Amino acid sequence: MTTEVSPITDLAQRYHYVRATSEKLCEPLEVEDYVVQSMADTSPTKWHLAHVSWFFETLVLKPHLPGYQPIDDRYAFLFNSYYNTLGKQFSRPDRGLITRPTVAEVHDYRRHVDESMEALFERGSSAGIELPEVIIDIGLHHEQQHQELIVTDLKHLLAQNPLKPVYRGDRGDRGDRGDRGGGWIGVAEGVYEIGSHYGDGFVYDNETPRHKSYVYDFELADRLVTNGEFKAFMADGGYERPEFWLSSGWATVQERAWNAPLYWEERDGEWSYFTLSGFRPVDDDEPVCHVSLYEADAYASWAGARLPTEAEWEVVAAQQPIEGNFVESGAFHPMPLTIDGRRSTVDVSPSQFFGDVWEWTSSAYTSYPGYEQPSGALGEYNAKFMSGQNVLRGGSCATPQSHIRASYRNFFYAPDRWQFSGIRLAR
Amino acid sequence: MTTEVSPITDLAQRYHYVRATSEKLCEPLEVEDYVVQSMADTSPTKWHLAHVSWFFETLVLKPHLPGYQPIDDRYAFLFNSYYNTLGKQFSRPDRGLITRPTVAEVHDYRRHVDESMEALFERGSSAGIELPEVIIDIGLHHEQQHQELIVTDLKHLLAQNPLKPVYRGDRGDRGDRGDRGGGWIGVAEGVYEIGSHYGDGFVYDNETPRHKSYVYDFELADRLVTNGEFKAFMADGGYERPEFWLSSGWATVQERAWNAPLYWEERDGEWSYFTLSGFRPVDDDEPVCHVSLYEADAYASWAGARLPTEAEWEVVAAQQPIEGNFVESGAFHPMPLTIDGRRSTVDVSPSQFFGDVWEWTSSAYTSYPGYEQPSGALGEYNAKFMSGQNVLRGGSCATPQSHIRASYRNFFYAPDRWQFSGIRLAR
Amino acid sequence: MTTEVSPITDLAQRYHYVRATSEKLCEPLEVEDYVVQSMADTSPTKWHLAHVSWFFETLVLKPHLPGYQPIDDRYAFLFNSYYNTLGKQFSRPDRGLITRPTVAEVHDYRRHVDESMEALFERGSSAGIELPEVIIDIGLHHEQQHQELIVTDLKHLLAQNPLKPVYRGDRGDRGDRGDRGGGWIGVAEGVYEIGSHYGDGFVYDNETPRHKSYVYDFELADRLVTNGEFKAFMADGGYERPEFWLSSGWATVQERAWNAPLYWEERDGEWSYFTLSGFRPVDDDEPVCHVSLYEADAYASWAGARLPTEAEWEVVAAQQPIEGNFVESGAFHPMPLTIDGRRSTVDVSPSQFFGDVWEWTSSAYTSYPGYEQPSGALGEYNAKFMSGQNVLRGGSCATPQSHIRASYRNFFYAPDRWQFSGIRLAR
Amino acid sequence: MTTEVSPITDLAQRYHYVRATSEKLCEPLEVEDYVVQSMADTSPTKWHLAHVSWFFETLVLKPHLPGYQPIDDRYAFLFNSYYNTLGKQFSRPDRGLITRPTVAEVHDYRRHVDESMEALFERGSSAGIELPEVIIDIGLHHEQQHQELIVTDLKHLLAQNPLKPVYRGDRGDRGDRGDRGGGWIGVAEGVYEIGSHYGDGFVYDNETPRHKSYVYDFELADRLVTNGEFKAFMADGGYERPEFWLSSGWATVQERAWNAPLYWEERDGEWSYFTLSGFRPVDDDEPVCHVSLYEADAYASWAGARLPTEAEWEVVAAQQPIEGNFVESGAFHPMPLTIDGRRSTVDVSPSQFFGDVWEWTSSAYTSYPGYEQPSGALGEYNAKFMSGQNVLRGGSCATPQSHIRASYRNFFYAPDRWQFSGIRLAR
């Protein structure tokens, strides 16, 4: 006998899974760790947990569950991130000042929302009332985005502490590593299609529509740049030689006195870095990580190459399986290529397109031709950020595997480094 | 039969009392409230609790208790406030980024220090070994100072939260209030002595030496300026008329858009304020509080008076009993004069010299003639701050009663408002 | 009899013309006006005059004129703008602190360079020695760019002065204006070529190579957005409604309290603006000017349209004659469409592609596919600025007519407003 | 036969002398030098020249010369410094943006005011109409203060220029210097009078009233601290050892990376400094100059001494002749003690109380007991600055000799260094 899963049940199951995953990520935390905001770009874990619940409350429960009562009306203000359509918001850089509601109260809030969602799903399956499935689906992907932010924001927070707290002990040996030079994947000139249409599985509005793009002959590196390679750039004066750098990148290097990727520290001539599993020596075989667009571009310039455009990246990545080192691996850190299985250094090329690190592209984050901004609050989800940022592709070791796809577009500002962001070369 | 208390036992008892008081102040707190730093001038409660323990560890236990083992060597760096003599310090404005040690671990730290201090007292009483009583005494007064800061810093933190959390419920009715105009206390011209000599009970170095000062005829108001009076200043355009203000005060008013004391908010034409017992309408009979030196000076100027010098204040205050509304009252807020007892509005004048609010003086905080800076770390306790600040006198509703005296000198910068600071006029 | 102009003579004549034009732009100035820098983005006129001379001195005379002696060796440091390849540079935001060399000495410097260039041209024509024509040509276009900056930077400077100094009296009547609704120019989907090859007349490296781009069906407005239209946006709450704005644009509006284009002031409900011909009421028929990318994008959003990409713009503009209101008109301000001749409102559509105002595009300023960065100092001319800026097209009323072309790419940051920048819609 | 000078004629003569002196100070300047403001604390020379004229126009001519017509009504706004009583003011840090009125127009303004003042004096002498002598006198002393600022602000401006322009050639040899150890002047404990009464010659309101002060036994150094002595402090790690510094001083040293007095530069282990006569090696025998209060205090602490209070300073200085190195010497720089005449190193002690450098005192700038703030605009002259600054005494090499007296109180903020400020020790 086969068990057939109805769509609603499937949605409910995914809801449970995603919600539980957020909480599982918090298991290693002390109450104190949930509260603090280490810089304006990050948010407290507590805020993330509440905000994703606010999203379901505001966009699903209030409009679609008759009789829904919020646990506290003031949360609508406290936990709205940036949706002007949905009312005023508490000042973003001050999210860390809000010690109440407590962590326990935020968990109460989550439970309240979960129980109400349960009631909603129940209405869907028993009463056959149509559910707002699209928006629930967006809410789940939204929560997955915040799961990644919980990891990256926590890393930034813990790294400020001279005690260097460990989020989670290391997973031990990471496999045999072959010797591998790295090759190039060639693509021929022509008109290619990238992006997605609504309906090709879940996609965000900023991935649409699928459209043609003229691409010239290019080659893409078949693996990521490693720490060892990046050290060679550093040893060659990479951070002291303006000729490799974008003008605003060079100004940033001077102003912030950068001389290595974020979280790296030199002691007695040896580089170590802070990881979520502790402070330890840099592993030369891992993909380099926590670099800004500026550093990625300067490295490429030094290496006689360049960064790919997002179209180039997607043309190649669309041919790759969505496998790699995601948040599910529990490593919370990029991993070196190894001989065993998919991460083999010999058999499998190209590699590392998904997971490990977000890959900087040279493409500015703008709308695709024919893009139509959704109406209402969801129109604020992506469109209003289409200015001054660059696209990153492929997900990282902090991304849930089910969250990523070839057409997925992430975006950050050129100097940002606290995400797990790295480099793949093109030429 | 009489029980005679030996000096060592007395010191030990005071140690227990003061240490327990710090912890009692924290009883209403959630773990989350201990962690956050709401501005660079304040510190997290957790940090205060640890720092005062570090003081005993560093200046008493390490040099005086043979075999003392710190619970964590790194605390020496984390919890040193500003003593260059005692090593480097963690960045002050980043104290709120340190989620570990946790609150529980800080309590462990306190216990560890307390047990070691116990051992030290034991050596003193049983083995007759001489104790460093002076420095222990300073440590206790130091902890009392931080008790006041715990209260003021918490108030600042909780006030940032739109939920307006209550630290502690209100104590209810605060007595009948007489109608009282306010009078003046006159003092005749001449040479007066102010300050203290070491040995006149506990005093800080900055109160020494007792010395002569030439004082001209003056009058001091016999009570503090009230909220009602300050509202009259506001209603008369006090915050819009530059003629009342010091030049840097006027610039500050413009820059920070001040239009009322800190924590005041206008809603529908009525003023309310955030207090540690909740958000409530301004009580006109209470002393005005949370004003900067600039506002105090502008008010005085508007009222055709001036602020007293610290010599003038002390000449009068030295004649008054040390009674008033201190932290022990549990009000955590200044109180109106009432008919009953000492706070009567009819019988007892002068009043309110001690407790309620720190009183701004026009005197810059500098050394007294003949002052000698202590050697070593204690030389950093007060002397290095003798620049750019003004003296405040008399203690506040957040000050422990046993901590204050007529010669006590507190000091803050002219724009500072988060202390319980108020106004007494002179002319 | 025909006079044949040899290439060298032609280059020398263009040299004389361009150099004289710079000086002619300065004729209305007082010495005081040459010296001051009104913000970090602008430079003093004196600095512009010297810097363009430094360019010829450094890249032409020193390497190519045997025996060339600089008038002052220290100018190499003072007047290098940003060429790291050519040595250190004086701090950019401090250019206005340099009162010496004086204006007269800068003119001496120019004369010294001109006489030396004369000697170089002489060597070319009489001795037949090959000249570095390419770099001289770049030097001339470079000086034309700074001519535009002289105009825009002076406007910014004079606008700071409450006396509202007039650079140059108004040119009087600007013709009859027809009533004109504005239409759209349609373009069909397909692969189009944009950009230029070296050798197609003078082009900058950032315009190369000519390349294919896939363009979807679109329409481009046949004229610029006018002040009258922009006022309608303002009247409809344009600056108060976040739904029209990019997120960083909305933050900028709040931070800088923008409520109109730069240089606009409201008095008694009427808008006037500062122009180089004086302070006067806003002319509703002129193209709106001095708007940021943020304002251009918000306007387009309000109008139910969008900004064009640079490919879209160029596909249409390449079909238009290079005519319009350039710096040679002496208006120093955008002009309304008029009935007479080219600027007719009836007969001629499309219009205003060149001159009047730089037109914001939605395209980020990045390299074209196949772009090769020049080696040496010229590699710093454009490539290192390819980050975080948007492309503007078509030149303005401050651009020399011979400087502009359809493939020309200008670039500024999204919040920049001091250039003559305006809006053409697409959809 | 004796010539009797009537008071009015005397005032007119002093007016001519003071006004001419301002212009004489500007003789070495290029037009460009008049315009620029090198930091918010300084003003352009052009502004100083206009502002002092505005003072006469506003406080003397408008109220006292019937029919007086301003040359430009808008100057009332442009050249008001900080008198709220007299209307709004142009933004202080933007004074350098005002290229018009030109230098020539400012001279026209001065002439216009001078001619009108001439008419006023004429009315006084011929028509016998009473003149506002007190306010004219204040205007003259006010202009002398700005003469000093012209010198110090110009020095700051020219020092920013890597060309190191010379204001005025050096005056050559500065005499034989004896070897001199430096002694102490002792004063006995008691009540002393300091300050001045109105009517004791010209005095500012902040010097009044003359009043009693209780002073303890002290000694004052009989000469200023020299560059050679200050170098010994530096060589002993003065700028690296926090134990000598006030807390805010030490923070300032770190923030601004101070390692020597302002204008000092080290090249190959030798210190030189920028002076108004050029860049040259530091002269060890000169008084150290351009030090902040922080550096003065740290030096004193290192030397086992302290800074004097203003009362101590005045008690001694009141006994000294008002002789020294003033602006009239044309040195524009402090001078070493020499054997010849008054500046002898052997015969004459105490020395250097007046001229050379302003001497930092430990006294905060506040009102004297019994001080009464003048009414109207003159009430803003001094009183509103009585917060956060320290008193300096004795005048400098940029002060006109007739401007200084023993009771004169100058005041600057602790970190200020661009005045000619130095150190005299007390103990």
What's the CATH code of the domain at C344? Answer: 3.90.1580.10
The distance of D78 to chain C (nearest Cα, Å) reads 8
Question: 3-class secondary structure for chain D?
Answer: CCCCCCHHHHHHHHHHHHHHHHHHHCCCCCHHHHCCCCCCCCCCHHHHHHHHHHHHHHHHHHHHCCCCCCCCCCHHHHCCCCCHHHCCCCCHHHHHHCCCCCHHHHHHHHHHHHHHHHHHHHHHHHCCCCCCHHHHHHHHHHHHHHHHHHHHHHHHHHHCCCCCCCCCCCCCCCCCCCCCCCCEEEECCEEEEECCCCECECCCHHHCCCEEEEECCEEEECCCCEHHHHHHHHHCCCCCCHHHCCHHHHHHHHHHCCCCCCCEEEECCEEEEEECCEEEECCCCCECCCCCHHHHHHHHHHCCCECCCHHHHHHHHCCCCCCEECHHHCCCCCCCCCCCHHHCCCCCCCCCCEECCEEEEEEECCCCCCCCCCCHHHHHCCHHHCCCEEEEECCCCCCCHHHCCCCCCEEEECCCCCCCEECCCEC
Which among B215, B246, B388 is the nearest to D248, CB-wise? Answer: B388
For the domain that residue D44 is a member of, what is the CATH number?
1.20.120
- Give the type of residue at C251: A
Residue B156's φ and ψ, nearest 5 degrees, are -65, -40
Two tokens, residue C8: 């060298």
Instruction: Check residue D180 and give its pLDDT.
Output: 61
Instruction: Check residue C224 and give its pLDDT.
Output: 96
Does ipTM top 0.90?
yes
The residues near C303 (Cβ < 8 Å, ≥ 6 apart) are: C225, C229, C233, C425
Residue A218's φ and ψ, nearest 5 degrees, are -155, 170
Distance, in Å, from the CA atom of C195 to the CA atom of A365, rounded to the nearest integer, reads 22
Instruction: Check residue D178 and give its pLDDT.
Output: 58
Q: Is C206 helix (H, G, I), strand (E, B) or coil?
A: helix
- Same domain, residue pair C200 and C149: no
CB contact under 8 A, D414 and B388: yes
Two tokens, residue D405: 């007296």
Distance, in Å, from the CA atom of A196 to the CA atom of A189, rounded to the nearest integer, reads 21
Q: Does the pLDDT at position C254 exceed 80?
A: yes
- Same domain, residue pair B237 and B121: no
Two tokens, residue C43: 């430079």
- Same domain, residue pair B200 and B154: no
Q: How confident is the model at residue A338 (pLDDT cuts 50, 70, 90)?
A: confident
In this prediction, residues D396-404 reach a mean pLDDT of 97
- Give the type of residue at D146: H
- Same domain, residue pair C244 and C359: yes
Instruction: Check residue C173 and give its pLDDT.
Output: 54
- Same domain, residue pair C29 and C74: yes
Q: Name the average pLDDT for chain C.
A: 93
Give the residue from chain B lying closest to A32, CA to CA. Answer: B99
Give the residue from chain D lying closest to B377, CA to CA. Answer: D243
Distance, in Å, from the CA atom of D324 to the CA atom of C332, rounded to the nearest integer, reads 57
Two tokens, residue B173: 């009715």
| Angle ∠(A166,A172,A177) on CA atoms, nearest 5 | 130
Contact B40, B91 (CB under 8 A): no
- Same domain, residue pair B56 and B102: yes
Chain B residues in contact with A161 (beta carbon < 8 A): 97-100
DSSP assignment, residue B64? H
How confident is the model over D163-191, as pLDDT tens digits? Answer: 999 999 876 555 666 556 679 999 999 99
* A175 in any annotated domain: no
Partners of residue C271 on adjacent β-strands: C266
Q: Does the pLDDT at position C47 exceed 90?
A: yes
Q: How confident is the model at residue B67 (pLDDT cuts 50, 70, 90)?
A: very high
Q: Cα C424 to the chain's mean position, in Å?
A: 17
Two tokens, residue D66: 């019937």
Which among C31, C98, C162 is the nearest to D77, CB-wise? Answer: C162
Partners of residue C359 on adjacent β-strands: C393, C422
| Angle ∠(D176,D178,D184) on CA atoms, nearest 5 | 135
* D349 in any annotated domain: yes
Q: Does the pLDDT at position D341 exceed 50?
A: no
Contact B148, B399 (CB under 8 A): yes
Give the residue from chain D lying closest to B85, CA to CA. Answer: D243
- Same domain, residue pair D225 and D263: yes
* C3 in any annotated domain: no
* B358 in any annotated domain: yes
Residues found in chain D: 427
Burial call D381-401: b when 16+ CB within 10 Å, e when fewer: bbbbbbbbbbbbbbbbbbbbb
Domain that holds residue A242: 184-422
In this prediction, residues B255-273 reach a mean pLDDT of 96
Contact B284, B231 (CB under 8 A): yes
Distance, in Å, from the CA atom of B135 to the CA atom of C219, rounded to the nearest integer, reads 82
Which residue has 């809006």 as its token pair? C423
- Distance set, CA C32 to CA C99, C178, D97 (Å): 10, 42, 10
What Rg, from alpha-carbon coordinates, does chain A have?
22
- Distance set, CA D308 to CA A150, B314, D174, D224, D311 (Å): 58, 24, 29, 12, 8
Q: Cα B235 to the chain's mean position, in Å?
A: 30
How confident is the model over A364-411, as pLDDT tens digits? Answer: 999 999 999 999 999 999 999 999 999 999 999 999 999 999 999 999
Contact D49, D26 (CB under 8 A): yes
Q: Do C and B share at least 3 CB pairs under 8 Å?
A: no
Identify the weakest region by mean pLDDT among A309-313, B303-307, B394-398, C82-86: C82-86
The distance of D352 to chain C (nearest Cα, Å) reads 34
- Same domain, residue pair D390 and D298: yes
Instruction: Check residue C33 and give its pLDDT.
Output: 98
Contact B68, A4 (CB under 8 A): no
* C169 in any annotated domain: no
Distance, in Å, from the CA atom of B19 to the CA atom of B9, rounded to the nearest integer, reads 15
* A408 in any annotated domain: yes
The residues near D249 (Cβ < 8 Å, ≥ 6 apart) are: B387, D292, D293, D294, D295, D297, D298, D414
Chain B residues in contact with A160 (beta carbon < 8 A): 94, 97-98
The distance of A378 to chain C (nearest Cα, Å) reads 12
Distance, in Å, from the CA atom of D296 to the CA atom of D290, rounded to the nearest integer, reads 10
Angle between helices D293-302 and D227-235 (to 10 degrees): 70
Q: Does the pLDDT at position D337 exceed 90?
A: no
Q: Cα B336 to the chain's mean position, in Å?
A: 19
Q: Does the pLDDT at position C339 exceed 80?
A: no
Report the phi/psi class of residue A313: left, alpha or beta, with left for phi > 0 and alpha for psi in -120 to 50. alpha
- Distance set, CA A200 to CA A5, A7, A207 (Å): 20, 16, 11
Residue C352's φ and ψ, nearest 5 degrees, are 65, 20
- Give the type of residue at A155: K
In this prediction, residues A25-37 reach a mean pLDDT of 98
Cis peptide before B336 (omega within 30 of 0): no
Task: Identify each DSSP E strand in B9-72 by its residue range.
Answer: none
Give the residue from chain D lying closest to C96, CA to CA. Answer: D36
Task: Identify each DSSP E strand in A205-357 by its residue range.
Answer: 211-215, 218-221, 264-267, 270-275, 278-281, 324-325, 354-355
Contact A340, A176 (CB under 8 A): yes
Chain B residues in contact with A38 (beta carbon < 8 A): 97
Contact D287, D334 (CB under 8 A): yes
Two tokens, residue B65: 């208790």
Q: Is C275 helix (H, G, I), strand (E, B) or coil?
A: strand
What Rg, from alpha-carbon coordinates, does chain C have?
22
In this prediction, residues B367-381 reach a mean pLDDT of 93
Report the phi/psi class of residue A378: left, alpha or beta, with left for phi > 0 and alpha for psi in -120 to 50. alpha
In this prediction, residues C320-346 reach a mean pLDDT of 79
- Same domain, residue pair B125 and B236: no
Instruction: Check residue C345 and give its pLDDT.
Output: 41
State pTM to two decimals: 0.95
Distance, in Å, from the CA atom of A302 to the CA atom of A269, rounded to the nearest integer, reads 23
Give the percent of chain B with pLDDT over 70: 94
Q: Does the pLDDT at position B193 exceed 70?
A: yes
List chains adjacent to chain A, taking adjacency as at least 3 C-beta pairs closer than 8 Å: B, C
How confident is the model over B276-313, as pLDDT tens digits? Answer: 999 999 999 999 999 999 999 999 999 999 999 999 99
- Same domain, residue pair C260 and C391: yes
Q: How confident is the model at residue C346 (pLDDT cuts 50, 70, 90)?
A: very low
- β pairing state of B358-364 and B421-422: parallel
* A172 in any annotated domain: no
CB contact under 8 A, A32 and B35: yes
How confident is the model over D215-238, as pLDDT tens digits? Answer: 999 999 999 999 999 999 999 999
- Same domain, residue pair A224 and A331: yes
Instruction: Check residue B204 and give its pLDDT.
Output: 96
Interface of C with D (CB under 8 A): 30-36, 38, 46, 74, 77-78, 90, 94, 96-103, 157-158, 160-163, 165
* D368 in any annotated domain: yes
Which among A35, A103, A157 is the nearest to B36, CB-wise? Answer: A35
Q: How confident is the model at residue C347 (pLDDT cuts 50, 70, 90)?
A: very low
How confident is the model over A145-200, as pLDDT tens digits? Answer: 999 999 999 999 999 999 999 999 876 555 666 556 679 999 999 999 999 999 87
The distance of C360 to chain A (nearest Cα, Å) reads 13
The distance of D141 to chain B (nearest Cα, Å) reads 21
Residue D362's φ and ψ, nearest 5 degrees, are -85, 0
Distance, in Å, from the CA atom of B58 to the CA atom of B52, rounded to the nearest integer, reads 10
- β pairing state of A324-325 and A354-355: parallel
Q: Which of A159, A193, A220 is the last residue of a domain?
A: A159
Q: How many structural domains is chain C composed of?
A: 2
- Same domain, residue pair B205 and B153: no
Maximum distance among all alpha carbons in chain D?
69
Instruction: Check residue B1 and give its pLDDT.
Output: 47
Two tokens, residue D128: 């016998």
Distance, in Å, from the CA atom of C290 to the CA atom of C227, rounded to the nearest integer, reads 11
